[in-house]
Amino acid sequence: MEVERKYLLAARPDGLDGHESGRLEQGYLALDPAGAEVRVRRKGDKHTLTVKTGAGLARGEEEVTLAAADFDRLWPLTEGRRVLKTRYLVPLDGGLTAEVDVYEGALDGLLTAEVEFADEAAAHAFAAPAWMGEDVTGDKRYANQRLATDGRP
């Protein structure tokens, strides 16, 4: 189970480039209007296939490692359903991390941050720093699968 809140940033946080980062390429193989998705992702030399179920604050998530050759075979099947971004890992109080995503291509200029929690109580108790902006958790327009298919809201 993944418990996560998502925020829409108005601007790049100060010092963002000083944090650990990596480029992500993710494409969707199957999408269900109820929120289920099957995606492939490449981050550096790591390749994964992920199945997510549900929508909102808490979702089911299963992830398996893919060989690069398997990723390369599946990637063309995601044409028209892709998201490209650079993810920055920004430490927060309480040992939490904000995953700040800076999108590319058709989504250029879009900035979001996600924070994962151990449980729903911790997610509800979280007070986001002001730079994180509007809480868009559960807003389907900002789900990566919707961004991949419909573009920027």
Closest CA to 4 of 59, 72, 53: 59
Using an 8 Å Cβ cutoff, are 18 and 91 in contact? no
Tokens of 55: 């929508």
Using an 8 Å Cβ cutoff, are 137 and 58 in contact? no
* Distances in whole angstroms, Cα of residue 92 to Cα of each of 20, 31, 53, 123, 151: 14, 32, 27, 14, 29
The answer for residues whose C-beta is within 8 angstroms of residue 12's C-beta and 6 or more apart is 102, 111
- In the set 7, 28, 88, 103, the catalytic residue is 28
Using an 8 Å Cβ cutoff, are 8 and 133 in contact? yes
Respond yes or no: is residue 28 known to be catalytic.
yes
Residues taking part in catalysis:
28
